[in-house]
Homo-oligomer: A and B are copies of this chain.
């Protein structure tokens, strides 16, 4: 089975999930003064930016990962569906977090950030599952030209990502906003042009 339609489907889910994020930003009511309302929404905008860039970078990574994968099968398609289930879920924890951050009296910002980070961690775990399945049995879904060294380097790269997300999630116990900023930094870090075998494919 070719990977073409799987990539199209994944691109669709990524594109929709990333574009639905904007629906979560409540429009200030006509009666409400716009200036103060926009200022109060600043944490919401921040959450929008972090989620958008994170999903965007996850898309870049998925994209690059698939430049190494040449074949698909039913199980692999299903693994990707589970992966996309967490990607498509992103608007929910983003909204929950934004609602808590916009209203200091709302409370539970720590729990909201943990929920947000838990979903991110799940996505990072699923990246591992995708990679491990595709590269298993001698890389049965990989393009022929990928050698053993790249397979191992890839596995190492993906292995550490869930740990990173987990750590950033734990920082939420101290400061939710710092945790959110670190998610952003973490995402941008993967985009830096670093050397190495499949440098661009880390989640």
Q: Does A154 contact B (CB under 8 A)?
A: no
Picked from B1, B22, B59, B78, the residue with its CB within 8 Å of the CB of A20 is B22
What class of interface size applies to chain A in its complex with B? 35 or more
Question: Closest B-chain residue to A27, C-beta based?
Answer: B95
Given A35-B108, A56-B78, A74-B64, CB of A28 within 8 Å of CB of B85: no
Q: Does A195 contact B (CB under 8 A)?
A: no
Q: Does A53 contact B (CB under 8 A)?
A: yes
A-side binding surface: helix, strand, loop or mixed?
helix
Given A17-B19, A57-B81, CB of A34 within 8 Å of CB of B91: no
- CB <8 Å contact, B85 and A60: no
Q: Does A111 contact B (CB under 8 A)?
A: yes
Q: Which residues of B contact A193 (CB under 8 A)?
A: 73-75
- CB <8 Å contact, A78 and B16: no
Q: Does A5 contact B (CB under 8 A)?
A: yes
- CB <8 Å contact, B106 and A31: yes
A51-70 vs B, Cβ < 8 Å mask (1 yes, 0 no)? 01100110110011011000
Please report the C-alpha to C-alpha distance between residue A18 and residue B84 in the assembled complex, in whole angstroms. 9
* A–B complex contacts, Cβ < 8 Å, 21 sampled: A5-B11, A6-B63, A11-B12, A12-B14, A13-B18, A15-B15, A20-B20, A20-B23, A22-B88, A22-B91, A28-B96, A30-B102, A33-B108, A34-B107, A34-B115, A49-B85, A52-B81, A60-B74, A73-B200, A74-B199, A75-B191
Residue ranges of A at the interface with B (Cβ–Cβ < 8 Å):
1, 5-9, 11-25, 27-31, 33-35, 38, 48-49, 52-53, 56-57, 59-60, 63-64, 66-67, 73-75, 77-78, 81-82, 84-85, 88-92, 95-96, 99-100, 102-103, 105-108, 111-112, 115, 188, 191, 193, 199-200
